[in-house]
Structure 1
Amino acid sequence: MSQTPDRTGGPQQPAPPAAPVDQDFSFEAVPLTQRRGFWRVGFVMLGFTFFSASMSVGATLGNGVDLTGFIWAATIGGIILGAYTGALGYIGAKTGEGLDLLAQRAFGTRGSYLPSALISFTQMGWFGVGVAMFARPTGDLLGVGPWPIVLVAGGLMTASAYYGIQAIEIVSFVSVPLIAVLGTYSMVTATRDGGGLEAIFSQSTGMTLTVAIGLVVGSFVSGGTATPNFTRFAKTPAVAVITTVVAFFLGNTLMFSFGAVGGAFSGQDDIFYVMIAQGLMIPALIVLGANIWTTNNNALYTTGLGLANITKIRKRPLVLASGVLGTLTALWLYDNFIGWLSFLNVALPPIGAILVIDYVWRRAAYRRPTDPHRTVVWGSVVGVVAGGLSGALVDWGIASINAMVVAVVCYTVGALIRRGRDRTRA
């Protein structure tokens, strides 16, 4: 045991034990020694985007547009999502900081409580929705009520999120190949048996391309705002950008395709029901459980980091509390899913847009520690509120894009006013 000298000349005393290391880096940047390579980050990001809710969007697209419209919507929407999340991923890897630490810079140390609260409670909601998405169809299949499955699934997902990025990696390494291989096999078989792609998209209801693109962007733009929480572990910004763009472009498109086939082949919006109709009960349960578990891990992890920024309590106990609350409210959240999704679509994109514009505007400041005297950046706070309102109230265009544009304008006006005041004082 190491010892420290006694200044009085007496016997040496044992040194105090070292403080436990926070493996989640709740309050500090991830050091370079803890960064991860392409495959480890890539599987985490793919696991994040493999989510059953995206299949519902795919089913809506499959019934609303023809094959050409589906391809265009998935491509254009995927490019928008990839650009948004790729920029956030770059910043996370470049600084080593997650969403909440970046928010302290862009919104101020106290102003960051607003984005942290929004991201925490919405991701906790996604966690609950995901648990119910697994419990209800599984309960129907097994002939039991949803609550036992809700409690078991919620407990297991909470436990893995508790152990942080390492547990998320393990779940993702197992789940992503299973989802991709089993889901693709089922989709290809269903497409062949259903008469091909043209037959799948033959029931188009005339949805416009703008609406279709809006659905693609809105499917994961809210969750994508949390991208820095995971790319901060990337060894290089290039690793972060490539893995993020691949996940949000290709991963999301795969989920849309699963949903489109599900809607055409079985009348449901999930590949789970397609596989059940094909007699693949065990693979269906594996795909559904793995699909939701990976995304729920990331959602609860993000919730813990956000609440840690507000409470100054480290992430792990907050993950436990959030997991319990999300589990107990899972069925209620599931029944109110559409309203929750609409709120998410306009509440979170302004946060990510402001993080990006602040980094572009003040890049040099990101090489220094966060300024503790920069408590509230009102242009950023107003930008989130105004952006969210515009996204909810403006009927034309794409809601999330409208929200981001308004947020950036508010931030820019606030930054110019602040710069003018600083010059006057100087």
Structure 2
Amino acid sequence: MKKVDAEFSLQPVPQANRNGFWKMLVVMLGFTFFSASMWSGGALGAGLTFTQFIGIVLAGNLILGLYTGALAYIAAKTGLSTHLLARYAFGEKGSYLSSLLLGATQVGWFGVGVAMFAVPVQRVTGLDTYLLIGIAGILMTATAFFGMKALAILSFIAVPAITILGGFSVFKATETAGGIAGLLQYQPLETMGLAAALTICVGSFVSGGTLTPDFARFAKTKRSAVVTTVIAFFIGNSLMFFFGAIGSIALGQADISEVMFIQGLILPAIIVLGLNIWTTNDNALYASSLGFSNITKIAKSKLVIFNGLLGTIAAMWLYNNFVGWLTLLGSTLPSIGAIILADYFLVRKGKYKKFEEMNFKAVNWIALIAWVAGVAVANFVPGIPPINAIAGSAVVYVVVSKVTVLVSETNATTEMKKVV
């Protein structure tokens, strides 16, 4: 008997295997509960007044919510992952580029996350860093191996625990900063430009957001997919930014676990740190394996083990080169999601032929040109790089697609006239 792929790595998710609103909500919240967002929140908190910080975080996560919500809509309607959706815009072999970039970066995030757990825990426990990395990597890989069901169970535990324990710590930190009045009166020693602040906010999770379809395809309805995704990025990710900013202002530490260590909440700090990273790392490992499955056609479960091992081994290197990694993510990944959105909504008017009935091009060079253009616009045009990348890629893709169709139609008409 042929073994059924419970994660539907290379096919649409059947309606019978879809999940309800609450299960999808906790999975998406778990995805956005990530320590890197707190680091970004700490940077914003140190460079902005608290009023400016609130405005930037709400604006940035609203942008992320709109971007990811649109991707979630397509995923729920088609039942397809990011990598299978990319076949429509990029072509079957062309989609390998996006899968490689997205998959590799998520393995990187996994490695960074493992080290982000091990390093602070080593400081307070004295246990060997590499031992902690090994244990954390194995446990996180084990849960990712079991797919969406394990992600949902883990998120049901982690989301309330992080919110309650982290919220208590932030409440204490707020008192240290002089209460709400003290936060509102805070003046940064070195100010940050608003454009730079919005870049940090959007760029912090736009790469992960591009992989939203990998999870939203399991939503029973399009509405559920969009609402849970927008809540996760607009509220869940914003909460991480607030944790980071308040910790930075009050105690000079952006990571809530570091704040809790200072407050003497050692065990709760380790719990929050572990669960926070675990949920996001499982999502990252899951998504990376779907990407490599699209390229290799190897079962997702086998790739989870390989990717988890690779990310664990490279954890300290990735951790020590985190800024460079973020720069790479911010400049190359938003364009992929933008091209998928432009292809679906603007070029094909929201109508995709069923996946199993499609005869995909090998490579759609228009998509690759648009991707290169988006990366170039992000890096060389003034403004907010992630937004520049999304807008640049979408515009180039739509314009070149339309021009190509017009040229093709003109040539066909000319040939018909010659025949007549």
- Alignment TM-score, normalising by the size of structure 2: 0.94
Q: Report the equivalent of 2:364.
A: 377
The alignment covers a number of residue pairs equal to 408
Following superposition, the deviation at residue 404 of structure 1 comes to: 1.1
Q: Report the equivalent of 2:4.
A: 21
Q: Report the equivalent of 2:339.
A: 354
SS in structure 2 opposite 1:296? helix
Give the distance between the partners of 1:418 and 1:129, measured in 2 at CA: 42
Asked whether the equivalents of residues 31 and 283 of structure 2 are also in contact (C-alpha less than 8 Å), the reply is yes
Give the distance between the partners of 2:253 and 2:123, measured in 1 at CA: 14
Asked whether the equivalents of residues 93 and 237 of structure 1 are also in contact (C-alpha less than 8 Å), the reply is yes
The amino acid that maps onto 1:407 is S
- Pick from 120, 126, 130 the counterpart of residue 137 of structure 1: 120
SS in structure 2 opposite 1:365? coil
The amino acid that maps onto 2:259 is V
1:327 and 2:316 aligned: no
Give the distance between the partners of 1:148 and 1:136, measured in 2 at CA: 11
Q: Report the equivalent of 2:139.
A: 156
Q: 1:294–1:368: structure 2 CA closer, same or farther, 3 Å change rule?
A: closer
1:64 and 2:64 aligned: no
- The 5 Å alignment of 1:70-219 reads 70-200=53-183, 202-204=186-188, 205-219=190-204
Q: Report the equivalent of 1:222.
A: 207
Give the distance between the partners of 1:370 and 1:270, measured in 2 at CA: 48
Give the distance between the partners of 1:230 and 1:172, measured in 2 at CA: 13
Q: Report the equivalent of 2:25.
A: 42
Asked whether the equivalents of residues 76 and 218 of structure 2 are also in contact (C-alpha less than 8 Å), the reply is yes
Q: Report the equivalent of 1:386.
A: 373
Following superposition, the deviation at residue 422 of structure 1 comes to: 4.1
1:291 and 2:270 aligned: no
Range moving further from structure 2, 194-203 or 149-158: 194-203
The CA deviation string for residues 86-135 of structure 1, in whole angstroms up to 9 with x for no partner, is 00011100111010110011111111011000000001000000000001
Q: Report the equivalent of 2:248.
A: 263
Following superposition, the deviation at residue 216 of structure 1 comes to: 1.0
Q: Report the equivalent of 1:8.
A: none
Following superposition, the deviation at residue 368 of structure 1 comes to: 5.7
SS in structure 2 opposite 1:269? coil
Asked whether the equivalents of residues 44 and 172 of structure 1 are also in contact (C-alpha less than 8 Å), the reply is yes
RMSD: 1.4
Q: 1:266–1:341: structure 2 CA closer, same or farther, 3 Å change rule?
A: same
Give the distance between the partners of 1:366 and 1:241, measured in 2 at CA: 22
Following superposition, the deviation at residue 417 of structure 1 comes to: 3.5
Q: 1:393–1:198: structure 2 CA closer, same or farther, 3 Å change rule?
A: farther
Following superposition, the deviation at residue 265 of structure 1 comes to: 2.5
Asked whether the equivalents of residues 387 and 407 of structure 1 are also in contact (C-alpha less than 8 Å), the reply is yes
Give the distance between the partners of 1:68 and 1:96, measured in 2 at CA: 40
Following superposition, the deviation at residue 164 of structure 1 comes to: 0.7
SS in structure 1 opposite 2:301? helix
Range moving further from structure 2, 40-49 or 408-417: 408-417
Give the distance between the partners of 1:40 and 1:264, measured in 2 at CA: 35
SS in structure 2 opposite 1:150? helix
The amino acid that maps onto 1:408 is A
Give the distance between the partners of 2:207 and 2:338, measured in 1 at CA: 11
The amino acid that maps onto 1:379 is I
Give the distance between the partners of 2:179 and 2:195, measured in 1 at CA: 26
Q: Report the equivalent of 2:398.
A: 412
The CA deviation string for residues 66-89 of structure 1, in whole angstroms up to 9 with x for no partner, is 111011101111111110000001
Range moving further from structure 2, 170-179 or 382-391: 382-391
SS in structure 1 opposite 2:352? helix
Give the distance between the partners of 2:224 and 2:251, measured in 1 at CA: 39
SS in structure 2 opposite 1:261? helix
SS in structure 1 opposite 2:267? helix
Q: Report the equivalent of 1:318.
A: 303
Give the distance between the partners of 2:397 and 2:174, measured in 1 at CA: 48
Give the distance between the partners of 1:69 and 1:61, measured in 2 at CA: 9
The amino acid that maps onto 1:298 is N
The amino acid that maps onto 2:207 is S
The CA deviation string for residues 163-204 of structure 1, in whole angstroms up to 9 with x for no partner, is 111111111111010000100111011101321234346242
- Pick from 325, 341, 365 the counterpart of residue 352 of structure 2: 365
Identity in percent: 50
Following superposition, the deviation at residue 377 of structure 1 comes to: 1.1
Following superposition, the deviation at residue 26 of structure 1 comes to: 0.6
Give the distance between the partners of 1:81 and 1:170, measured in 2 at CA: 25
Q: Report the equivalent of 2:417.
A: none
Gaps of 5+ in 2: 414-420
Gaps of 5+ in 1: 1-17
Asked whether the equivalents of residues 47 and 172 of structure 1 are also in contact (C-alpha less than 8 Å), the reply is yes
The amino acid that maps onto 1:301 is Y
The amino acid that maps onto 1:320 is I
Q: Report the equivalent of 1:7.
A: none
Asked whether the equivalents of residues 67 and 198 of structure 1 are also in contact (C-alpha less than 8 Å), the reply is no
Following superposition, the deviation at residue 420 of structure 1 comes to: 2.7
SS in structure 1 opposite 2:205? helix
Give the distance between the partners of 1:368 and 1:104, measured in 2 at CA: 9
SS in structure 2 opposite 1:364? coil
